Amino acid sequence: PVLVVDFGAQYAQLIARRVREANVYSEIVPHSFSVEQMLAKDPVAIILSGGPSSVYAQGAPFVDPALFDAGVPVLGICYGFQAMAKALGGTVAQTGAREYGGTEVEVCSAGVLLADTPEHQTTWMSHGDSVHEAPSGFEVLATSSGSPVAAFEDGDRRLYGVQWHPEVKHSAHGQTVLEHFLYEGAGLAPDWTASNVVADQVAAIRAQVGDARVICGLSGGVDSSVAAALVQKAVGDQLTCVFVDHGLLRAGEAEQVERDFVAATGVRLMVVDARERFLEALAGHSDPETKRKIIGREFIRVFEDAARDVVADAGAHGDEVKFLVQGTLYPDVVESGGGEGAANIKSHHNVGGLPDDLQFSLVEPLRTLFKDEVRAVGLELGVPEEIVWRQPFPGPGLGIRIVGDVTAERLEVLRAADAIAREELSKAGLDREIWQCPVVLLADVRSVGVQGDGRTYGHPIVLRPVSSEDAMTADWTRLPYDVLSVISTRITNEVSEVNRVVLDVTSKPPGTIEWE
């Protein structure tokens, strides 16, 4: 892999993604890794990320100069660039003059890194110290007003560095710079593609699973669907998927999994109809956290029962179910400790904690992938586009989109309103612009209206369209008025219990995306 050494400023994941966008496989390692640990991963190139420190700060992460003698091409970015300069004998000065944001650099010698890019270009910078003298053997490629040395390279030793952040889209030629490093500097081929990922993962799953049986909890979301499709491709009927219908799904979702997903992938599916059970358990509860707990608890119980059935059925044929598929993604792995050593199981993951008497090893075919790569793999495997491009939907489903008690009638009302909103947003081509659009029923609120010939006393529906990168923060999406108007008219006409449609114009923070 290309190793991205994380100096701790959240840029490492972005760099790793950009490398993969260049069709080269990358992995993130912590800066606490020794040179031996890095080399043990057989890196084809190494990228040192930016970081929050000054190379002069006490305890600043340090780069062992031995790294540069290993014969592996290295690109230093921002902090990584300065640490590299310092380690190799250049001069890094604390001038106190910060460069932050869009910054113009002037190319004095294009070298390999800046080939075919303009003499004057805008880059994204964020630094206090600057490199004043390049180490010996290095050629200075660019300067800016605050950085006498803004980029350098030593072609013989295949060492490169830039002061700016090429991984950030605001750097006009950032991706080109990264690709020059990868393709020309390190001589790598762009062969990390969805079809190769599928081939590699299929081989890895076969090697791990052998002829044992495998179980997978399907939620209908992207991750579990693509994970299941991969395992199905690898070991076919050794896989049994369990889909728990808790009755809190949106219109058509259960059918989508039962019919479309099975048709596309051929998985053996066990559907558990637990709708009654969830409704009974939820009856009389309106507190959001209580509802979440009940749904989580029931979900695990139902899944456990189903898993036991699958295990018993397999046992009746003399087989053993040894493996459980999880749709863990690479960001989860990185965030829970870098993915070194034993598998990190996130407790909040799809299936939750399974009991000790069901001992499974995990199959996690998406562990190395970012979300966009999971989608590409899903398309490659023929998973229906409706699933591959599905927006995030919370595990507790519509149960946390009814403000008040959850009842069968209220679910019907919300499902009908939600289906209309989704249909119109799709028709307007807005699906990929919106991160997600919760549709919320204020079941305990009534307002007076006039519909047809008479006065009504119905419930409001809230539309909560948001734009976001990662759901941590969000802004309300400025939907076109005519789309809002059609949604409002249709919902109030077609869903008789609803006489008012309101738009949530709160960003996150202070509002969360969901209402509960």
Q: Which of 392, 427, 451, 496 binds ligand XMP (CB under 6 A)?
A: 392
At 98, list the tokens. Answer: 């910060």
Mark whether 280 is an active-site residue: no
Report in angstroms how near the CB of residue 123 gets to ligand XMP at its nearest.
Answer: 33
Count of residues engaged in binding ligand XMP, rule: CB under 6 A: 11
Torsion angle defined by CA atoms of residues 136, 141, 145 and 147, in that order, rounded to the nearest 10 degrees: -40
Q: Is 65 in the site for ligand XMP (CB under 6 A)?
A: no
Q: Which of 21, 99, 167, 179 is catalytic?
A: 167
CB of 248 closer than 8 Å to CB of 399: yes
Q: Is 471 in the site for ligand XMP (CB under 6 A)?
A: yes
Q: Is 436 in the site for ligand XMP (CB under 6 A)?
A: yes
Give the position of tokens 């605001």: 170
CB of 336 closer than 8 Å to CB of 344: yes
Report in angstroms how near the CB of residue 436 gets to ligand XMP at its nearest.
Answer: 6
At 280, list the tokens. Answer: 């009974």
Report in angstroms how near the CB of residue 426 gets to ligand XMP at its nearest.
Answer: 18
DSSP 218: E
Is 511 annotated as contributing to ligand binding? no
Residue 73 or residue 394: which is nearer to ligand XMP going by CB? 394
Q: Which of 21, 31, 153, 165 is catalytic?
A: 165
Q: Is 414 in the site for ligand XMP (CB under 6 A)?
A: no
Burial class (CB in 10 A: 0-12, 13-18, 19+), 452: exposed
Cα–Cα distance for residue pair 240/311, rounded to 1 Å = 10
Q: Is 222 in the site for ligand XMP (CB under 6 A)?
A: no
Q: Is 221 in the site for ligand XMP (CB under 6 A)?
A: no
Cα–Cα distance for residue pair 69/32, rounded to 1 Å = 19
Task: Centre a 10 Å sphere on the Cβ of residue 131 and count the other Cβ atoms it contains.
Answer: 28
Q: Is 508 in the site for ligand XMP (CB under 6 A)?
A: yes
Is 220 annotated as contributing to ligand binding? yes
Mark whether 127 is an active-site residue: no
CB of 181 closer than 8 Å to CB of 210: no
Query: CA 260, 374, 208 angle in degrees (round to 5)?
Result: 95
Mark whether 241 is an active-site residue: no
Q: Is 351 in the site for ligand XMP (CB under 6 A)?
A: no
* Spatial CB neighbours of 356, under 8 Å, sequence gap ≥ 6: none
Report in angstroms how near the CB of residue 397 gets to ligand XMP at its nearest.
Answer: 9
Q: Which of 258, 386, 423, 514 binds ligand XMP (CB under 6 A)?
A: 514
Instruction: Give the residues across from 243 on adjacent strands.
Output: 218, 271
Q: What are phi and psi of 255, to 5 degrees?
A: -65, -40
Q: Which of 31, 78, 173, 516 is catalytic?
A: 78
Write the interaction track for ligand XMP spanning residues 287-326; mark x where CB under 6 A is met and - where it is not.
-----x----------------------------------
Annotated binding site for ATP: 219-225
Instruction: Show which residues are catalytic.
Output: 78, 165, 167
Binding site for ligand XMP (CB under 6 A): 292, 392, 394-396, 436, 471, 508, 512-514
